[in-house]
Amino acid sequence: MKSLASLALVLFLAGCEGRHNWLAGAGEEARSVETLFWVLLAGAAVIWTLVIGAATYAHRAEAKPEREQEARRFIIWGGVALPVLVVGGLLIWGLLILRDITADDGALTVRVDGERWWWRVIYDTPEGPVTTANEIRLPLGERALFRLTADDVIHSFWVPALGGKMDMIPGRETTLALTPRELGNWGGLCAEFCGGAHALMRFDAIVMEPEAFDAWLAHEAQPAQVAEGDAGFAVFDEEGCGACHTIRGTEAQGPVGPDLTHLASRDKLGAGIYDMTADNMARWITDTHEMKPDIDMPAYPGLQGERLDALVTFLMSLE
Ligand code: HEC
Ligand SMILES: [Cu+2]
């Protein structure tokens, strides 16, 4: 029994390690949820002890009719008034936290659309929207407001170490603020079952120094640099990839899949699941559904040899 309990504890704590640790306290909002959690846990322990104590006492004590009145008072205060006060207080506190983490006053606004099974990410800047995908970068110490929606089914946006989570609902907008307090690459994921590749719907949430972030965003806003007559772009064009994907600065303006303008500047490929390497890129194109089952991109098993090499070289140059 004891070893079972310690095994359960080890498993529980193992789940807290690493970049998805919601107790890492890497964001302001995660810290307020964490405080709520510890207060709830400690409060529950105190109440449990009191209830068990009272039950034990009641079991052992002799029934005395003259103490009837006292017992009734105990039930009314301890069993009705106290729970109403405690639960009401927690409700108000929880609603205040919710108001804080959804309030519409971010210095930075990022729109994220949940798609099956990837993330469309749009930074609203004074110069206009900047579209990217599957990776979110945030400046350290600045409050970013996320405006969330979904394309066709419900998803849930969650960066455990920074804060959250929040449902993404088709046809509606929900908001969530994140104020990062620690540099790092904190993982994000979809926390609402959304179909086949749900478990492979992830993203990187990279917290950077503010100057580095500004430089990154300015670079993302630029169109791609594609040389006239690039052999890889020719393959991209001939295969019809541009029907679904956009590469800003070229004729490829497809709205269906992730924006590829600065694909190779992302850390990961395929919505946070593979390292961004030429090998993975080639397999993504030829063995698409082995790499990620169920996705809405067709596989191109016939694309081999020089044409595949040229296409991969081109895609890996989109920094
Ligand atoms: C029918 C639409 C469609 C076509 C055609 C298509 N794709 Fe895709 N592509 C998608 C979708 C949808 C995804 C996102 C899949 C996911 O992760 O769930 C995607 C993902 C990708 C990614 C990963 C992007 C990232 O952010 O990691 C790459 C790279 C890519 N496609 C390249 C190509 C290339 C190259 C071609 C042509 C040979 C092509 N695609 C053709 C729909 C398409
Ligand atoms: Cu999901």
17-48 pLDDT tens trace? 578 888 888 999 999 889 989 999 999 999 99
Query: What is the per-residue burial (b if ≥16 Cβ within 10 Å, else e) of 152-170?
Result: ebebbbbbbbbbbbbbbbe
The reply to whether 177 falls in a domain is no
Residue range 282-307: mean pLDDT, rounded: 96
The reply to whether 199 falls in a domain is no
pLDDT confidence of 148, banded at 50, 70, 90? very high
The verdict on the CB of residue 282 being under 6 Å from ligand 1 is: no
pLDDT at 88: 94
The verdict on the CB of residue 114 being under 6 Å from ligand 1 is: no
Domain boundary among 102, 130, 149: 102
Residue 16 confidence (pLDDT) above 60: no
The reply to whether 288 falls in a domain is yes
Residue 166 confidence (pLDDT) above 90: yes
User: Of the residues 115, 119, 294, 297, which should be mutated to test ligand 1's pocket, given the most ligand atoms within 8 Å of the CB?
Assistant: 297
Residue 124 confidence (pLDDT) above 60: yes
Overall domain count for the chain? 2
Give the ligand 1 atom nearest the CA of 269. 27
CA of 118, nearest ligand number: 1
Domain boundary among 102, 121, 146: 102
Q: 137 or 2: whose pLDDT is higher? A: 137
CA of 199, nearest ligand number: 2
Question: What CATH number did the domain enclosing 301 receive?
Answer: 2.60.40.420
The reply to whether 203 falls in a domain is no
The reply to whether 25 falls in a domain is yes
Amino acid at 263: L
Residue 169 confidence (pLDDT) above 60: yes
Residue range 172-186: mean pLDDT, rounded: 94
CA of 271, nearest ligand number: 1
pLDDT at 58: 85
Q: Which of 316, 131, 118 is nearest to 236 (CA)?
A: 316
The verdict on the CB of residue 295 being under 6 Å from ligand 1 is: yes
Instruction: List, in order, residues 6 or more apart from 304 with CB less than 8 Å away.
Output: 286
The reply to whether 169 falls in a domain is no
User: What does the alpha-carbon distance between residue 48 and residue 58 come to, in Å, rounded to a whole number?
Assistant: 15
pLDDT at 15: 53
pTM (2 d.p.): 0.88
Q: For 103-122, write each residue's pLDDT tens digit.
A: 877 779 999 999 999 999 99
The reply to whether 54 falls in a domain is yes
> 6 CA to middle of ligand 2, Å?
32
Residue 158 confidence (pLDDT) above 80: yes
Give residue 272's domain range. 231-316
The verdict on the CB of residue 117 being under 6 Å from ligand 1 is: yes
pLDDT at 10: 59
Residue range 209-231: mean pLDDT, rounded: 95
CA of 275, nearest ligand number: 1
Q: For 66-106, write each residue's pLDDT tens digit.
A: 888 888 998 899 889 999 999 999 999 989 988 888 887 77
Domain boundary among 74, 102, 130: 102
Give the ligand 1 atom nearest the CA of 276. 27
The reply to whether 12 falls in a domain is no
| Residue whose CA is at the smallest distance from ligand 1 atom 15 | 295
Give the ligand 1 atom nearest the CA of 197. 18
pLDDT at 311: 97
> 88 CA to middle of ligand 2, Å?
33
